[in-house]
Amino acid sequence: MTSASSDPTTTTSAGSDPTISPGDAKVAVVTGASSGIGEATAKELAAQGFHVVVGARRFDRVSALAREIGGTAVELDITDQSSVDALVAALPRVDVLVNNAGGAKGMASVADAVIDDWTWMWETNVLGTLRITKALLPGLIASGDGLIVTVTSTAALEAYDNGAGYTSAKHAEAVLHRTLRLELLGQPVRLTEVCPGMVETEFSMVRFGGDQARADAVYEGLTPLIADDIAEIIGFVASRPSRVNLDQIVVRPRDQATSRRNIKTG
């Protein structure tokens, strides 16, 4: 895809005004855009000239972001079909979808699995990604040059102790994405899976239920990636020519070799 034309003049709330007016700009939808990788990616794509539709449950956060980048804020819950349907109805076009919403809850062995945590992880990472991707697929194909970036994780590549709820959900999300790559062969849509290792965002705060000390401990003693590192990679993907499909990108901090091996663990 070449750079989008730059006319991102509209800042509207789909919550109160379901009109998205991108002008001549290509439209990128970013889920989970209220913080971290999603927020940074929205800024990166806006800087490339996309009109970015920033979706998240925390509408106040995406609203402020949309004002900053000249995009559109949408109160979006990808686990809710009516929320996704409202977005689709408001979208005049879509060229890029960044599946970023998702996350981890808890760390427990399979023997001690917390069913509610597994349900949340599968609802968001797997079924949520399926719901929004399926809904936007006709528009992405119709664009003639669509792009789907799914932010999975190195947890989509490895299993680790006490992580099966998250690793299984990320594996499933990845297989959904990789299957779509096969099924869309011949259609004008590129698909890229980005698999990040440790990135210092709200990820660990969510995983540990808001326990700041426990979240901080994850990143102490090493240098994790930051959200901008991933956003720049997604920006690189989005700015390649249409003939170039980056299938899968695995990115970890230098200080991390696998999900459970890093310079602290040796």
Question: Which residues lie near ligand 8X3 (CB under 6 A)?
Answer: 153-155, 197-198, 259
* Closest distance of CB 152 from ligand 8X3, Å: 8
Which of 50, 118, 120, 166 is catalytic? The answer is: 166
In the complex with ligand 8X3, the residue whose CB is nearer, 56 or 206, is 206
At closest approach, how far in Å is the CB of 109 from ligand 8X3?
16
CB nearer to ligand 8X3: pick between 101 and 198: 198
Ramachandran quadrant class, 51 (left: phi over 0; alpha: psi -120 to 50; beta: rest): beta
Rank residues 103 and 146 by Cβ distance to ligand 8X3 and give the closer one. 103
Residue with tokens 């901090």: 253
Q: Are 43 and 231 in contact (CB under 8 A)?
A: yes
Label residue 77 exposed, middle or buried (CB < 10 Å: 0-12, 13-18, 19+): middle
Q: Which of 213, 197, 201, 204 is nearest to 252 (CA)?
A: 197
Tokens 């992880």 -> residue: 121
User: CA distances (Å), 17 to each of 69, 90, 233, 255, in order?
Assistant: 18, 9, 32, 46
The token duo for 218 is: 């994850």
Closest CA to 136 of 74, 85, 186: 85
146-151/189-196 β-pairing: parallel
Task: Report which residue's Cβ sits closest to ligand 8X3.
Answer: 153
The closest alpha carbon to 49, from 3, 86, 14, belongs to 3
Q: Please, what is the minimum distance in Å from the beta carbon of residue 207 to ligand 8X3?
A: 9
Q: Which is nearer to ligand 8X3, 66 or 104 (CB)?
A: 104
The least CB distance from residue 259 to ligand 8X3, in Å, is 5
C-beta closer to ligand 8X3: residue 133 or 259: 259
166 is a catalytic site residue: yes
Where on the phi/psi map is residue 187: left (φ > 0), alpha (ψ -120 to 50), or beta?
beta
Q: Which residues are catalytic?
A: 166
